[in-house]
Amino acid sequence: MDWSPVLISMKTASLSIFITFFLGIFAAGVVIRLKNETSKIICDGILTLPLVLPPTVAGFFLLYLFGVKRPIGQFFIDFFGVKIAFSWGATVLAAVVMSFPLMYRSARGAFEQVDPDLTAAARTLGMSEWEIFWKVLFANATPGMLSGGVLAFARGLGEFGATSMIAGNIAGKTRTLPMAVYSEVAAGNMGAADRYVAVIVVIAFISILLMNLGALRAGGRKHGA
């Protein structure tokens, strides 16, 4: 069994959830602070769009933007000597884009469930908006955000459509676990496909257990306080 898809998937999912987690929290914090409802609806629609688009369509847009002959892709090549399309970085890019809406919506929902009286009390105590965000909103929304992290990690781990468009299926480089399953099935190697499926199920299940345990502990500390 070739273990490179496992290593590539774990590296991709780990880096993508690190990026997505903080990016989703930041985006949610910005959106909930918008005063204009029309602006809030438009921003929410744009940020959620990858969730409802077919993954191949999202991958098409990524390829359109980051392809070697496209403006952004050419910019990275000319100024940084980095080719994004059909590289390992492209697997991370695809995972971030496709998992971001789950993290964003989970974080926004968690923030909106925080009692407004807590933030009002914090303002009367003279706390800055930055302090209110981290010490009140973030602290009380942690369980919900961890749940969003579970979904985002699992989404990044299982990303296939956008990855196939922007990163391809290059053995030892961009072939993630879902791509490996597809390749083995297409080649008629069902035994190898079974093993890859088993690995991805175990990884996803363990990740959910660990992160749910963290959410339970966070909720316990919250109630204990």
The C-alpha angle 27, 108, 116, rounded to 5 degrees, equals 115
Q: How many domains does the chain have?
A: 1
pLDDT, tens digit, 9 for 90 and up, residues 146-203: 888 888 988 999 899 999 999 999 999 999 999 999 999 999 999 999 999 999 899 8
Taking alpha carbons only, the member of 39, 81, 86 closest to residue 59 is: 86
Domain that holds residue 96: 4-224
Residue pair 45/212 in contact (Cβ under 8 Å)? The answer is: no
Mean pLDDT value across the chain = 88
* Interhelix angle 190-224/177-186, nearest 10 degrees: 160
* CATH code assigned at 182: 1.10.3720.10
Residue pair 175/51 in contact (Cβ under 8 Å)? The answer is: no
pTM above 0.85, yes or no: yes
| CA terminus-to-terminus distance, the chain | 49
pLDDT, tens digit, 9 for 90 and up, residues 81-130: 888 989 999 999 999 999 999 999 999 988 888 888 888 888 888 888 78
Tell me which residue has tokens 């699992």.
154
Average pLDDT over every residue of 2-22: 92
